Structure 1
Amino acid sequence: MPEYMSGFGNSFETEALPDTLPVGRNSPQRVAHGLYAEQLSGSPFTAPRASNERSWLYRIRPSVLHSGRFERVDAGLWRSAPESETHLPLGQLRWDPVPLPDTAQSFLDGVVTVTTAGDVSTHNGMASHLYLITESMVDDYFYNADGELLFVPEQGNVRFWTEFGVIDTEPGEIAVIPRGVKFRVELLGGPARGYLCENYGGAFTLPERGPIGANCLANPRDFLTPVAAYEDRDGMASRLTVKWGGALWRTELAHSPLDVVAWHGNYAPYKYDLRRYSPVGPLLFDHADPSIFTVLTSPSETPGTANVDFVIFPDRWLVAEDTFRPPWYHMNVMSEFMGLVYGAYDAKPHGFVPGGFSLHNSMTPHGPDLEAFEGASAADLTPQRLQGTLAFMFETRYPQRVSAHAAAMPGLQQDYADCWSGLRRHFR
């Protein structure tokens, strides 16, 4: 079983072999066990201390030996912003779940882009993908130089073998792999399906709590970072694939690049159990904004405006008096890609099912469907618990462009807007 260290953004130190980490320095003349010292920087060297991200890795070979003659390879259905393959008419969009394929398909083959936003070359924006996996990566490795990856499992358990250690995930949890970190994806049992946010911008961090104070929402102690684990494999035929500049590049290796024996620093992959999220909300009347459910945020240069927010709608109590309790009708400057991990979403009780997803772009009106509106308007406002539900949003300041493949999916619901068509005039 994988082992973890708890805390968000901590400066960790861990070693798979004793007496590996140097004491009092980062790059000694000779590293223990004949290892190489290498720094992995997730921020500019001169970034302020609070946002400076880097780790020192002590590995069997430096990463320059993980490189060879790279050749560009087919990216399949993986796309990067800016993306203008298609122009769907303006409006609300929703899709049924995409079935898992019958053919063998690893993570590298199973990424399907739904939307892109911003510009990958300027490290602004994001992309919303699905992943559909039916077999483990074997002797295949990958890292993303374009952005960090936030995985939201919806079906099936997945293991991430990373340079920093091993992370196991299941539906209800998330995993974040920072930009530049090498890994492979293994299945733990049957096939796996889920959602994937590729964040081109600033690294995800915890949102400020403001007047909420020091506790609740996502608490730092519940984030888990793996302890050091390594592969010492020589004479093997393997491949390393890199996403860089919106394209995939591949080279051949004769060893495993997951050869980090020890490491220390604050730039590392992590997981989080969304069931440990401690929601807060109104106790008397009206709503708090949905931003109160932000788990992680990628900030932009504009204060209070996210490059991308990761927001969830988990189990919680609804107790507000004289209040329409589901999410209200609104138009938003942000654009929202939404998915459902399990259960039902209170604003869309039908037509939006686990594995499905929707897109409400900036300034596109949306809100509860007819059934949700009429039910909530006539409900007896006793305390109500929403239970067994987990929906989420990737919300960004950029318009999200739909890929040509997603626009042609048979699961695109042509009648989605009909869920509001029965809303009647009540004005007297």
Structure 2
Amino acid sequence: MGSVSPAVFNTRTFHWTDSKSTTITRPEDPYQYLQGFGNDHQSEFIPGALPIGQNSPQLCPYGLYAEQITGTSFAASRSHSMRNFLYRRRPACVHSSYGKTEDNPTLEASFLNPSTGLHTVPSQLSWSPFKIPTEADGVVDFTTGIHTLGGSGQPNLHEGIAYHIFAINSSMPNKAFVNMDGDFLIVAQEGHLDITTEFGRIYLQPSEICVIQQGLRFQVDIIEEHSPSGARGYIVETWGTKWELPELGPLGGYGLANQRDFLFPTADIDTSSSLSPWQIVSKQGGTYYKILQSHTPFDVVAWHGNYIPYKYDLSKFVYHNTVSVDHTDPCINTVLTAKSRDLQAPLCDFLIFGPHWDVAQNTFRPPYFHRNCASEFLARIYAPEAAAGGRSEVFAPGGASYEAGFTPHGNADQRTIGAMHIDLKPMRIGENQLTFMLESCRSLLFTNWALKDCGVLVAEDISESVWDTVPDRFGQNEEALQFLKAMGRA
């Protein structure tokens, strides 16, 4: 894997290049990856396991079985077709019949019919860090540790989105999960995760995200060495659309999240539990079902295709911003976008705000006060200390904030007011911080868990008090008052 300069490589590096790393992953990551967003990839754990020149031979190499997975319609255009062939020890259909299993009571999937369990919020919300379960809470793995905050739409209609958090204290021995409803974009915030998929293994840690597509089986284990208190993060679930890279337009061929920095697993068959009993939990319409089988679901020796889980390190993002005047709209920080039926309004944009230079002149440098048609959800992955100030600022890492579409908001603490008078020198901002934002054309319906049962919703009056710091400067401007007096409007 090469060597790394240990003195400068840390989780909160200003940019990946500051680490002087000669590898594509951080030192803790033990796995090999393929590179390139949107590519067709292929991988084989044993040389010769991939058939040459065809997908389904009469007899596959090494006695393996060929199995296809399609992520789009068979008739999708070539540029949008997503599919794979996997070569595995036993077909995935070798399992018991489906049966109901215990549901996750804090998981929600349908947001079409508002009820006592779903609520509109026309204003703004803030949450302190979501709680990670302790030993006293019992075993909480990834399937039981997902909690829905809100969403819009319904997976059965293949249209919509849901925002979740996950907080876990346990791995998933001999247990796998599959989301039949849509794709998961997972954001690690606390702790390190070892994610096993049918295509190989992904190591995920804070500053990294991964996408696991609809219908793919995976297992989430905690790396205890780096997760003494368990693990926590966020999940963006999309229905009926796939994550894409945003268009670059006048930026040209490179910038923002570059294709080469997206990493895909390599084939890695599980032999340690190949003949042990396994439970596979599937989520469909928000309801949990399970099947049992006597062998591991991670028995793929080789595969090829483009419907593959992947990960991305957010510290590799290439920021672009103004070098003259005015704050740039946040869309310039888009990592991935998921389209909606309205081509002019994405279902969701995944944006990040991390360390970068600010050099704008003759300008109010913080984001201007605004009312957007999009709703905004922000969460801090890491920061040196809890944020203080306006409602657009999230609190401590592990919490979140939300603004509904067209709700007025902006930063309004004393630092922001002071920004009107500071000496505008080039400055590095966002040091040791990383925050992501979800912009959506949908306003969310929120769950009871998000508004009450989570226990970390910040009281409304605490958020409102910050606006008392915004003075009416016009009403104290003598020149303006003279004009008003002259016009008989004083």
State if a TM-score over 0.5 links the two structures. yes
Q: Which structure is higher in strand share?
A: 1
**Equivalent residue for 1:358, pick from 401, 406, 414:** 401
Aligned residue number for residue 304 of structure 1: 344
Q: Which residue of 1 aligns with 2:445?
A: 401
Please state if 1:52 is matched with 2:52: no
Partner of residue 78 from structure 1, selected from 96, 107, 115: 107
Alignment partner for residue 214 of structure 1, among 253, 256, 259?
A: 253
TM-score (norm 2): 0.84
Contact 1:125 1:200 in 2 (8 A): yes
Q: Would the aligned equivalents of 1:128 and 1:337 in 2 still touch at CA under 8 Å?
A: no
User: Which of 398, 410, 416 in structure 1 is aligned with 2:455?
Assistant: 410
Q: Tell me the equivalent position of 1:230.
A: 269
**Take 1:175 and 1:303, find their aligned partners in 2: how far apart are those partners?**
25
Letter in 1 for 2:314: L
Distance 1:43 1:9 in 2: 14
Query: Residue 397 of structure 2: SS of its match in structure 1?
Result: coil
* Residue number in structure 2 paired with 1:337: 377
Do 2:339 and 2:347's aligned partners in 1 also have CA atoms closer than 8 Å? yes
Name the CA distance, whole Å, in 2 between partners of 1:95 and 1:88.
17
**Aligned equivalent of 2:471:** 424
Indicate the residue corresponding to 1:390 in structure 2: 434
Deviates more, 1:284-293 or 1:227-236: 227-236
The Cα shift of 1:265 comes to: 0.6
User: 1:22 aligned to 2:62?
Assistant: no
Relative to structure 1, the CA distance from residue 371 to residue 378 in structure 2 (aligned partners, 3 Å threshold; closer, same or farther) is: same
Distance 1:350 1:333, change over 3 A: closer
Show the counterpart of 2:206: 171
Residues 8-65 of structure 1, C-alpha deviation per residue, up to 9 Å, x if partnerless? 1110110011101111111111111111111111111111111111111111121211
Q: Does 1:160 align with 2:195?
A: yes
Separation in 2 of the partners of 1:326 and 1:370? Answer: 11
1:96 alignment counterpart: 128
The alpha-carbon deviation at position 304 of structure 1 amounts to: 3.0
Q: Which AA in structure 2 matches 1:373?
A: T
CA distance in structure 2 between the partners assigned to 1:346 and 1:329 by the alignment: 17
SS in 2 for 1:309: strand
| SS of equivalent residue, structure 2 residue 347 | strand
* Conservation of the 8 A alpha-carbon contact between 1:326 and 1:372: no
Distance 2:403 2:447 in 1: 15
- 1:371 maps to 2:414: yes
5+ long unaligned stretches in structure 1 = none
Q: Is the contact between residue 361 and residue 424 of structure 2 (CA under 8 Å) also seen in structure 1?
A: yes
- Name the counterpart of 1:281: 321
Secondary structure of the equivalent of 2:79?
helix
- C-alpha displacement of 1:350: 7.2
Residues in 2 aligned to 1:391 and 1:308: alpha-carbon distance in whole angstroms: 16
Equivalences for residues 25-44 of structure 1 within 5 A:
25-44=54-73
Following the alignment from structure 1 to structure 2, what is the Cα–Cα distance between the partners of residues 376 and 81? Answer: 44
Shift of 1:88: 5.5
2:213 is the alignment partner of 1:148 = no
Match status 1:87 vs 2:132: no
Task: Output the CA distance in 2 between the equivalents of 1:339 and 1:416.
Answer: 16
Higher Rg of the two aligned structures: 2
Select between 61-70 and 240-249 the one with higher mean Cα deviation.
61-70
Do 1:115 and 1:402's aligned partners in 2 also have CA atoms closer than 8 Å? yes
Per-residue deviation, residues 173-219 of structure 1 (Å, max 9, x unmatched): 11111111101001112211111111113110100001111111001
Alignment partner of 1:108 out of 134, 138, 143 = 143
Distance 2:308 2:389 in 1: 36
Give 1:235 shift. Answer: 4.0
CA RMSD, Structure 1 to Structure 2 (Å): 1.7
Between the aligned partners of 1:376 and 1:346, the Cα distance in structure 2 is 15
What TM-score comes out, normalization by structure 1 length?
Answer: 0.96
Q: C-alpha separation between the residues in 2 aligned to 1:79 and 1:318?
A: 40
CA distance in 1, matches of 2:31, 2:266: 8
Q: Distance in 2 between matches of 1:121 and 1:253?
A: 27
- Equivalent-residue separation in structure 1 for 2:40 and 2:323 (angstroms): 37
In 2, the alpha carbon distance for the partners of 1:300 and 1:350 equals 27
